[in-house]
Structure 1
Amino acid sequence: MGVIRIIGIVLIIAGAAALSYKQFSYTKKTHNADFGDVHLSLKEKEQVAIPTWLGGAVVVLGIVLLVVPPRKS
């Protein structure tokens, strides 16, 4: 199995995940403070929206990589 086919499969899986979840979130640590024995930490939860067209385009690109035969050098 060639590298192009593996990339195509990975793109199809990533695009399908983007279409099904539509967004993801992560926690960002912003500030730390230490006052003797007291430790304070501020964390912010960020959300990133994934456009539907982007997920669809990634799936289509993965399919194209699987269907189009590789060029001969």
Structure 2
Amino acid sequence: MKVLGICLIILGVVMCVFTSVNFTKTEKVVDLGPVEINKKENKHIGWPVYAGIGVGLIGVAVLVSAKNKS
């Protein structure tokens, strides 16, 4: 459980620093034998800063509860 708590804390800090992720998705539109038409589309996934803070606090709670059980 300690490892899970530490991972959640690290994930929470990363989510606070980087509030979004951008990536490009390539999709096949037409495939007619040797002719192929692809479409590239930019995707954006974003989250608020308080989501990262929440994940970090959950990680702290898991870490403290794992310490109390030992």
Do they fold alike, i.e. is TM over 0.5?
yes
CA RMSD of aligned residues (A): 1.8
- Report the equivalent of 2:2: 5
Alignment of 1:1-73 (within 5 A): 4-68=1-65, 69-70=68-69
Instruction: Measure the CA separation in 1 of the matches of 2:26 and 2:42.
Output: 9
Equivalent residue pairs, number = 68
Structure 1 stretches lacking a partner, 5+ long = none
TM-score of the aligned structures, taking structure 1 as reference length: 0.77
1:13-55 Cα shifts (integer Å, max 9, x gaps): 1111101110012333344212343211112111011111100
Structure 2 stretches lacking a partner, 5+ long: none
Q: Distance in 1 between matches of 2:7 and 2:40?
A: 32
Q: Spell out structure 1 runs of 4+ moving beyond 4 A.
A: none
Amino acid corresponding to residue 40 of structure 1 in structure 2? I
Determine which structure has the larger helix proportion and give its number.
2
TM, length-normalised to structure 2: 0.80
- Give the percent of matched residue pairs that are identical in Structure 1 and Structure 2: 28
